[in-house]
Amino acid sequence: MTEEFRTVIGLEIHVQLNTRAKMFCGCDNNAEGKEPNTVVCPVCMGMPGTLPVASREAIEKTIKLGLALGCEIPKISKFDRKHYFYPDLPKGYQISQYDQPFCKGGQIELESGTVKLNRVHLEEDAGKLVHPKGSKYSIVDLNRAGTPLLEIVSEPDITSPAMAKDYMKELHLILRNLRISDADMEKGQMRCDANISVQLKGERRKGKVASSPIVEIKNLNSFRFVEKALAHEEKKLQEEFEKWPEKKTKLTHGFDSNRGTTYPMREKEEAKDYRYFPEPDVPPFDLTRFPIEKWKKELPKLPSHHRARLSELGLTKEEANIIAKDDTIKDVIENVAEKNKAIIGKLLINNVEARKLSIEALNQIADTIRDGSPSNWVRDMIRRSVKSGKLPLEIVKETKGLAPSSEEISEKTKEFTKFLISENPDVVQKHKAGKAGALEFLIGQGMKMTKGTVNPKELREELVKQLEEEKR
Amino acid sequence: MSNLCNLTIAEASKQLAEGKITSADLTKSVLERIEQVEPKVEAYLKVLEDSALKEAEASDKRRQAGKPLSKLDGVPIAVKDLFCTKDVETTAASNILKGFVPCYEATAVKKLKDAGVVLVGKLNQDAFAHGSSTENSDFKVTKNPWDLERVPGGSSGGSAAAVAADECLGALGTDTGGSIRQPASLCGVVGLKPTYGRVSRYGVIAMASSLDVIGPLAKTTEDAALIMEVIAGRDSLDGTTLGAPVPEYSKELEKDMKGLKVGVPKEYFAEGMDEDVKKVIEKSVEKLKSLGAEIAEISLPHTDMALATYYILQPAEVSSNLSRYDGIKYGFSTLREEKEQPLEKVYFESRGQGFGAEAKRRVMLGTHVLSAGYYDAYYKKAMKLRTLVKKDFDEAFKKVDVIVTPVSPTPAFKIGEKSDNPIQMYLSDIYTVPINPAGVPAISTPAGFVERDGKKLPVGIQIIGPMLGEPVILNVSYQLEKALSLKDRPKL
């Protein structure tokens, strides 16, 4: 049955910006852990006579996201008033953007395809209603009121619930990459409304594509819920496809995360009319006077860029994915020697301790690995280096152990190998007699004697070489 | 001492500086005057007797120490109740805000206080500045000091009446479509509507945000200039304020009128104007000519459209700005009588009972013009017309330095005469309204009197200037004032 249908999904994602101050006043934008209604002022409480003054930091962060997503930044942008009554909206209108947002168009590249964007606009968040247990009333907390809020609207380019999740995750990564939002979904810093409909492939009814109504699922606050809710709704829309009356075009649903199901939300009879008009208190912005080219240059690279580059370096797709999401590893890889990037990437994924090493130390370690997985010697060297704060080469010198790679170290290895051979004449004899395991025994002895500071690979090579020479 | 309240700000400032009078005596004189005439005029919603006297004493101490804060230190001034005053009830003369005590100060009030001004009290007005007669106040009807049976005009009627009746030395008002100029004209005082953005609107309860301006009402042009010097300028709390430096307005009044080009727009003298008013205006124009000004007829072709534009944009913005009075916060709420009610009932009934008829009329009009399907036909078109109206003035000011027109088509009308006819009431602002969508400054200056029922009623002339042209209109106003030398005062 599913083959007959095409799924059409578009997402509207709200993201709180991590600006210092709120959108239109000087209040601290971080109200975490604060008592209700303590991070407020007359402006964000919408008190009579107060006026909004737009935060340049919020506008800068919005435009930077737009630049990163390839959006068009128009010459003129402005705020508008969006009217509705609700107790958490102090002015009776929200300052939002209607027809001239800061960013238009753009796209997000996913493995499963490209999702075009409609727009990114900036607005102010509302307060919160709190429902005390057992009471018949609600109380209002305005700490959140006035927090700068991005709305990122995708085109209906998403074709499956899994792709919707990927899109969310990718956007999350980009936001964190740009350091414009912490995008912590549990704290409500990133929230999603999803629109889904299913269409019957190839079939037209009355000249139109045969489509189910569009269902909007409100307030999805985790990646998993986005996928789950959409999967549930997708299935329901397919199963009930023929039942929908043609008139019904739009439904609003909520998501019950405990049951994993969606449910219809109470809807008003009349159509919503927000009576948008240009916000007279905030003059329009001439964006040609903003340093947009400079911002463009300052932009960090996007995750998709990192993934491509990491793959080129020889990392697997999985490894590239992990590193693209990990700021620490990414920063390290940017800075280590070109030839060592892939080795260090792999090392850092698997060895948490190695993350504490300096760039120089990592380069020295990587020189000893070359190929294959890190040996016990390497792991030991990392441990020692982290503990002492010394570079691996210093440690090798001090412990009179053997530095595996540089010329000097090779000399030491040669000397040690000579020493090892001279100390174990019977094992050497056994090896010469062709006894299997004798070489391994010698290497083991060597490791023991050097307390693991010798590179077993080099030791093996050197042993083989010197034993060959002795044969002649 | 009892006559100190008759002083102008300039006179009082001089005498305070010379140590001839004290702010305490001046303030007491004003408070005594209030006690004496307020039962007849009813200009104040609140008189701040105690704090005014304390402020006056503090001012005197500064003067004694040789450290006055400004020329206006110790001068008693009052403000329209639309201005938020810290820790002092601010109602906008509306029930829905009754009991509201702001924890912040309007920037204009703060600037006055920082200059050492003594705040005498809060003045009556039409509720939320909706009206042209101050009859729309939810609390009292202010009378015109020249004839107590007549209105003082509006919406800053309390401000104009208080200044005319010597109940303060000067006052602040607001002007969205004539609310400073029309009452100034009807009460025989000077009223300046500055350029949009010249004075911060922060803390002034909004009527129509893109049209609202704050300005002085005063006994003389010089006084208006002195107040402007204090209140004008950029404010970080109001993103629409202009950055241009503030001139010393009071220093630019003496320039003579020789060669000044004065435009008289034909559209403003078309029809509906009271014949006596017309004569006063014509005489004033003659006076300007005799002072050396060149008079030229000009045209502002989009004048009638300016009215239409105003009556769409203004209610649209009003409907939005009044949204915050939701019957939960601030003053009147049905929740105070009945604790548990469904949300929508609270909204409907509190707003239904808390707002007056005029506010409701404007909310309905404004909501309609912003509604889906009507926005393009009304609001969008009005915004386009607004550009044409602005252009009219831009073009005119390429040819002339100032434009003069009547302020109001009639002198002060009787209380109750127009209160049942909103259209008639709207028409009393016909000459002042077009100025606000254009954003240019204009001043109403006393030009003469007409007689009605055996009483002298003042008539003002409107002098309009280009953007930031306050210096030139104050100059013309001052010179005209000097030449006309009107000595009559209301008899109370």
DSSP characters for A89-119?
A: -TTSEEEE-SSS-SEE--EEEETTEEEEEEE
Predicted local confidence at residue A374, as pLDDT:
58
- How distant is the Cα of A21 from the closest Cα of chain B, in angstroms? 14
The pLDDT of residue A343 is: 84
Confidence (pLDDT) at A405? 46
Tokens encoding A64? 């930077």
Cβ within 8 Å of B, A 126-145:
136-137
- The ranges of chain B with pLDDT < 70 are 1-2
Quick check: B330 and A48 CB within 8 A?
A: yes
Q: Is residue B285 part of a domain?
A: no
Residue B358's pLDDT is 94
* Spatial CA neighbour of B322 closest among A249, A232, A59, A275: A275
Q: Is A50 on the interface with B (CB under 8 A)?
A: yes
- Taking residue A289's Cβ as centre, other Cβ atoms within 10 Å add up to 8
Q: Would you state the pLDDT for residue A442?
A: 87
The answer as to whether B49 is a domain residue is: yes
Residue listed under structure tokens 């769409």: B312
Mean pLDDT, rounded, for A272-276: 90
Closest CA in chain A for residue B323 = A92
Long-range CB pairs of A129-133 (<8 Å, 24+ gap) are: A129/A87, A129/A88, A130/A36
Token pair of B239, please? 């993103």
pLDDT greater than 90 at residue A196 = yes
| Residue A269 pLDDT exceeds 50 | no
Report the percentage of chain A scoring pLDDT > 90: 50
Alpha-carbon gap, residue B178 to B427, rounded angstroms: 11
Number of domains in chain B: 1
CATH 3.30.413.10 fits A405-472, yes or no: no
Name the residue with higher pLDDT: A276 or A240.
A276
**Mean pLDDT of the region A441-461:** 80
Residues spanned by the domain of B23: 4-259+440-484
Contact between A275 and B367 using a beta-carbon 8 Å cutoff:
yes
Positive or negative: CA dihedral B37, B39, B44, B47 = positive
Which of A230-234, A270-274, A433-437, B267-271 has the highest average model confidence (pLDDT)?
Answer: A230-234
Shortest CA distance from A283: residue in chain B: B240
Domain coordinates in residue numbering, chain A = 2-292, 301-398, 405-472
Predicted local distance difference test score (pLDDT) of residue A403: 45
User: Which comes out higher in pLDDT, residue A405 or B365?
Assistant: B365
pLDDT over 60 at A319, yes or no: yes
CA angle A353, A357, A361 (to 5 degrees): 130
A residues 291-350 lying closer than 8 A (beta carbon) to B:
none
* Band of pLDDT at residue A437, cut at 50, 70 and 90: confident
How far is residue B102's CA from residue B87's CA, in Å, rounded to a whole number? 6
| pLDDT score at A348 | 86
- List beta partners, residue A278: A80
Segment A142-181, tens digit of pLDDT: 999 999 999 999 999 999 999 999 999 999 999 998 999 9
- Rounded to a whole number, what is the distance in Å from the CA of B5 to chain A's nearest CA? 31
d(CA B89, CA B98): 8
Check residue A436 and give its pLDDT.
79
- Give the ranges where A152-256 is alpha helix by DSSP (H): 161-177, 223-239
Predicted pLDDT of residue A381: 77
C-alpha B92/C-alpha A74 separation (Å) is 40
Compute the distance between CA of residue A47 and CA of residue A40 in angstroms, rounded to an integer. Answer: 11
Parallel/antiparallel/unpaired status of strands A214-220 and A190-205:
antiparallel
Residue A68 has pLDDT above 80, yes or no: yes
pLDDT for res B1: 44
- The pLDDT assigned to A201 comes to 85
Task: Inform me whether the pLDDT recorded for A2 exceeds 70.
Answer: no
Tell me, yes or no, if B219 is annotated catalytic.
no
Residue B350 is assigned to a structural domain of this protein: no
- Out of A93, A273, A281, whose CB is closest to B372? A273
Flag whether B271 is in a domain: no
A271 in contact with chain B, both atoms CB, cutoff 8 A: yes
Contact B239, A54 (CB under 8 A): yes
User: How far apart (Å, rounded) are the C-alpha atoms in residues B105 and B203?
Assistant: 6
pLDDT for the residue B149: 97
Angle between helices A327-335 and A341-350 (to 10 degrees): 150
8 A C-beta contact, residue B152 and residue B60 = no
Structure tokens at A242: 């023929």
Residue from B86, B369, B370, B371 to probe the interface with A (highest A Cβ count within 10 Å): B370
- Tell me, what CATH number does B231's domain have? 3.90.1300.10
Domain-embedded: residue B308: no
pLDDT in tens, A323-358: 888 878 888 888 888 888 888 888 888 887 888 888
Indicate the pLDDT class of residue A90, thresholds 50, 70 and 90.
very high
pLDDT at B270: 73
Closest CA to A179 of A331, A368, A75: A331
Mutate to test the interface with A, among B237, B328, B369 (most CBs of A within 10 A): B237
A window 30-49, beta carbon within 8 A of B? 42, 46-49
Residue B289 is assigned to a structural domain of this protein: no
In the residue annotation, B80 being an active-site residue is answered as yes
The token pair at B328 is 């939960």
Which residue of chain B is at minimal alpha-carbon distance from A139? Answer: B328
Residue with tokens 């009787």: B414
Give the residue from B196, B202, B204 with the most A CB atoms within 10 Å of its CB, the best one to mutate: B202
Q: Could you tell me how far CA A429 lies from the centroid of its own chain?
A: 59
